[in-house]
């Protein structure tokens, strides 16, 4: 069995239909029917199935599965289980159903797609097998050309997400993969409708001072700074081990906004939320790659751009000017 990654909630492994793979699905011991989560008529539905229905689906090894593990006691006391983790990710898939033509997440299953399944007490979600998960070492070695493609791909995806009035909610390097020749966001379990009552109910906005303000009130600053320490490590967006100029700018920006009500702030920044987190990644890349210095102003202002569409237009304009300058320089050299 090939393990592609291990996290707090589970592990990502090969689907497991290779001959001789003792950990493959053919060798899972279970009793009774299994539960399948299948796309039908524009929705993900639960239905009973058999192991024989799914063990030979991935003949060309194009898919992987994320297997969720039972959380530690402190998380169980908050109501989390392997099943709730799986259902959250499936709900994230449901949120982006209109984008599935360009984000083929489920495995082809009869006339539709298989998104997840439960065998005994084991919980799985199906994903495409992409070539690369992003890491600091990989993105920091990008050429300018690859950097431009990386930024464009993610911003185009955010444009499509925002058309659905959604936020991804958890943009970090671990949640960006290279699929073929394209960079894409993965892990949709924290995707959120950009609706204020929904936000207040579910209380999650990713890397946003507003989220901490809603949760902790006047104590938002201290709690946000603690959360940032973890996020620095996940994005590379730090100047030192405990600080980030980019993050300091975000804090100053929100400190001014917090003169208004939480709902008024939300209406102003809702399309900036994913841009803020993506900007932290780009900031880290620019710190460690001098070839990206010309994009510094764009990166430092990404967190307060109106939406992904305006950010994309601005970025295309900057990268086009840079390309024209290089062409002219070559002609005169």
What are the tens digits of pLDDT across the range 251-281?
A: 999 999 999 999 999 999 999 989 999 999 9
Phi, psi of 30 (to 5 degrees): -155, 165
More confident residue, 301 or 230: 301
Cβ-Cβ contacts under 8 Å for 115 (sequence gap 6 or more): 37, 38, 39, 44, 90, 93, 105, 106, 125, 126
Of the candidates 44, 94, 134, the one whose C-alpha atom is nearest the C-alpha of residue 103 is 94
When pLDDT is averaged across residues 6-30 and rounded to a whole number, the result is: 64
pLDDT at residue 17 is higher than 60: no
Identify which of 112, 114, 5, 15 has the alpha carbon closest to the alpha carbon of residue 69.
Answer: 5
CA 248 to mean position of chain CA atoms: 23
Q: At a CB cut-off of 8 Å and minimum separation 6, what does 143 contact? A: 291
Q: How far apart are CA 323 and CA 206, in angstroms?
A: 34
H-helix or E-strand spanning residue 323: helix 308-331
Mean pLDDT over 96-109 rounds to 78
> What does each C-alpha distance from 250 to 228, 253, 273 come to in angstroms?
11, 5, 11
Domains (ranges, CATH) in the chain?
3-128 (no CATH), 132-328 (1.10.510)
Q: Is 128 helix (H, G, I), strand (E, B) or coil?
A: strand
Q: pLDDT tens, 301-322? A: 999 999 999 999 999 999 988 6
| E strand segments, the chain | 3-6, 10-14, 34-40, 43-49, 63-68, 107-109, 112-119, 122-128, 132-133, 166-167, 176-179, 182-185, 192-193
At 287 the three-state DSSP class reads helix
Q: With bands split at pLDDT 50, 70 and 90, how would you rate the model's confidence at 2?
A: low
Confidence of residue 30 (pLDDT cuts 50, 70, 90): low
The DSSP code sequence of 103-123 is S--SEEETTEEEEEEEETTEE
CA distance 303 to 325: 27
pLDDT at residue 205 in the model = 62
Q: Which pLDDT band holds residue 26 (cuts at 50, 70, 90)?
A: low
DSSP state of 171: -
Q: Which two tokens stand for residue 191?
A: 């995707």
Give me the chain's average pLDDT, please: 85
Identify the burial level of 97 via C-beta atoms within 10 angstroms of its C-beta, where 0-12 means exposed, 13-18 middle and 19 or more buried: middle
What integer is the mean pLDDT of 18-42? Answer: 69
For residues 303, 309, 39, 21, the Cα torsion angle rounded to the nearest 10 degrees is -60
**What is the layout of strands, in order, in the sheet containing 132-133?**
132-133, 176-179, 182-185
């Amino acid at each position: 069995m090939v393990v592609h990654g291990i996290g707090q909630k589970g592990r990502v492994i090969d689907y497991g239909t290779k001959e001789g793979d003792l950990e493959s699905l053919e060798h899972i011991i279970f009793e009774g029917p299994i539960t399948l989560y299948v796309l039908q008529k524009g929705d993900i539905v639960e239905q009973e199935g058999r192991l024989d229905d799914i063990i030979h689906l991935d003949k060309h090894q194009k898919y992987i599965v994320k297997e969720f593990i039972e959380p530690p006691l402190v998380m169980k006391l908050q109501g989390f289980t392997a099943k709730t983790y799986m259902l959250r990710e499936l709900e994230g898939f449901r949120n982006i159903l209109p984008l599935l033509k360009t984000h083929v997440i489920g495995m082809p299953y009869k006339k539709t797609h298989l998104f997840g399944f439960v065998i005994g007490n084991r919980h799985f979600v199906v994903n495409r097998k992409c070539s690369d998960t992003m890491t600091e070492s990989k993105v920091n070695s990008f050429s300018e050309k690859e950097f431009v493609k990386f930024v464009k791909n993610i911003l185009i995806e955010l444009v499509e997400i925002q058309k659905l009035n959604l936020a991804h909610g958890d943009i970090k390097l671990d949640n960006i993969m290279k699929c073929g020749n394209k960079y894409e966001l993965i892990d949709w379990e924290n995707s959120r409708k950009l609706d204020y009552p929904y936000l207040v109910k579910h209380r999650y906005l990713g890397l946003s001072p507003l989220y901490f303000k809603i949760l902790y009130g006047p104590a938002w600053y201290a709690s946000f700074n603690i959360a940032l320490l973890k996020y620095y490590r996940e994005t590379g967006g730090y100047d030192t081990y405990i600080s980030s100029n980019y993050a300091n700018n975000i804090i100053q920006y929100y400190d001014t906004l917090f003169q208004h009500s939480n709902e008024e702030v939300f209406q102003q920044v809702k399309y900036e939320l994913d841009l803020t987190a993506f900007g932290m990644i780009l900031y880290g890349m620019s710190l460690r790659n001098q070839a990206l210095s010309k994009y510094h102003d764009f990166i430092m202002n990404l967190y307060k751009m109106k939406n992904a569409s305006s950010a994309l237009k601005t970025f295309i304009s900057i990268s086009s000017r840079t390309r024209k300058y290089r062409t002219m320089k070559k002609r005169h050299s």
